[in-house]
Structures are given as structure tokens and as C-alpha cells.
Amino acid sequence: MKQKISVSIDEKKIVEMNKLLEKSRFRSRSHVVEYALEKLLEGEDSNGP
């Protein structure tokens, strides 16, 4: 189940996010954020405690 949240993101990062969307790599801004968070968490797992 997905939950809606609200986040504040620097305007420069929004511009970069929109470029990713234009390239059709992601379906939506939510998809971009979810993908990035997943990669961050994977990196945390590999770095240990």
C-alpha cells in the first residue's frame, strides 16, 4: 500500500528530475523519488550498521 507524503525539494533538483521524466525513464516524479530512495536504502544495507 502506498501513502502520500509531502516533501520540499530544491528547484535545481526539480529541473533535473523533469529532465529524467522527459527521457521517459520514469513514469512520474513519485517514481523518481521512490527509485532514488530504494537505491539509497540498498547502499545503506551494503555499508553495514
| pLDDT tens digits, 2-43 | 999 999 999 999 999 999 999 988 999 999 999 999 999 998
Residue in the block written with cell 502506498: 2
- The Cα–Cα gap between 1 and 17 comes to 24
Say what the pTM is.
0.76
